[in-house]
Amino acid sequence: MSGVILTMPGIPFTPEDVQVAHDDVVRIVRTTDWPSENLNAMPSYPLGWCSAMSYAVGRLLRRRGLGVWRIAANGHHDWLEYVDAGDVIYSVDATQHQFPGHEAAWLGLGSPPIADLYPAHDWAVCGGEPRSWAKWPSQVLDAVVTRRLR
C-alpha cells in the first residue's frame, strides 16, 4: 500500500513505517541461524510463522512509537490489527502468503483478506498479552529482533 496517506487524526504511523518494521523482522527471520538461538523446529518462512511474526512485528511497532497493535487469532492463523474506536484501521498479515491464492504478505487498510476465511475470535494487545499467549518461538524471535535492532 505504498503511497497511501493516513490522514486520520491520532494515527501514529504511516504505511511506510509499518512496511519498514515488517521488512526488518522478515530480514532477521531469513538471516538468523535459528538452531543457534535454540529454535530448531520452525519450518521455512512463511509457513508456520504467523504467531511469532505477529508477536515480534507488533512489539517492534510499539517500541518504535507506532501505536499499540493487537494480535488477532483463531487457533489456525494470527495477524496484527491497529484498531481505533472499534474499527480495524490497518492490518499486517506477515504470513498470508503461506495460503493458496495469496502471493505476498498483507499490509493494508482494514482487515487482511485471509480474515474472511479464518475469522478471529481471540485478541491480545501487543506488549500486554497474557503470559500464556506467547509461545517459545514468539519469545525467541522477539528477543532476537530486540537484540539485533538496538
Residue 33 has phi, psi (to 5 degrees) of: -85, 90
Instruction: Give the Cα separation of 28 and 33 in Å (integer).
Output: 10
Nearest to 62 by CA among 1, 127, 132: 127
Q: Is the pTM of this model over 0.85?
A: yes
pLDDT score of 6: 57
pLDDT score of 40: 87
| Helix or strand (DSSP H, E) at 109 | strand 106-109
pLDDT score of 1: 44
Instruction: Break the chain into its structural domains and give their ranges.
Output: 15-148
pLDDT score of 2: 45
pLDDT in tens, 10-43: 899 999 999 999 999 999 999 999 999 999 888 8
pLDDT score of 98: 95
Which residues in the chain land under pLDDT 70? 1-9
